[in-house]
Amino acid sequence: MRTQRALNRTLAKQNPERAFGSPFEIVGEKLFTKGEKIATLNRWRQSLLKELDASGEGMHTYGISAERARLLEQVEAARNQLG
């Protein structure tokens, strides 16, 4: 049996990467409306795009760009699941 966790909806929407283990957890989140899920995934996407853009401009990212690009792909896939 899965235990319920407390979710600070406002913080989760503002910083989804800290609140969720993967973008797909947002898709399954029962406390969010479909619109909130899409907005949260969009926020996560924008954050990743900014980070990847910075790495493309020569800012040192300590080799995490490939990992972040894979995460961006997961965010896109999760958004596609929502339609």
* Inter-CA distances, 24 with 4, 50, 60, 61, 72, Å: 17, 21, 29, 25, 12
pTM of the model: 0.82
pLDDT of the chain, 83 residues: tens digit per residue: 444 567 899 999 999 999 999 999 999 999 999 999 999 999 999 999 988 877 665 555 556 678 888 999 999 999 999 98
Residue 5 confidence (pLDDT):
64
